[in-house]
Amino acid sequence: MDEQEDRIAELESKTEQNSYEFIVAELDVCFSSVKNGIRDLESGNREAAQKESEKAEMGYKTVIGFVARLGEEQQRAEVEKRWNELRARLDMLHSMLKDSASE
């Protein structure tokens, strides 16, 4: 490879690593939002819980657009596992919110 090709490969690698780090951070924020939403709901603050749910849902949708950029299988598998865990927790929060609305 010539110098320019080496530089392009390096930039592509950094971009992929940055995407991975962004996804991990975004998932962490989403998990925190779900946790906060559950806590808010348990404290009787349904409105705050709903806002946390919406934030987590937006992050969940954001992550999917970045997963395709991951070329490393191990990173992709880790992200998909966490993404699915987040979906399960979000669904649980949505169910709790729905139950609290009918009380």
Number of domains in the chain: 1
pLDDT along the chain (103 residues), means of 10: 87 90 96 98 96 96 86 91 96 94 75
One DSSP character per residue, 51-82 reads HHHHHHHHHHHHHHHHHTT---HHHHHHHHHH
Full residue range of the structural domain in which residue 21 is found: 3-101
CA atoms within 13 A on the CB side of 44: 0
Give the integer Cα–Cα distance in Å for 46 and 20. 33
pTM: 0.88
pLDDT of res. 20: 94
CATH of the domain at 37: 1.20.58
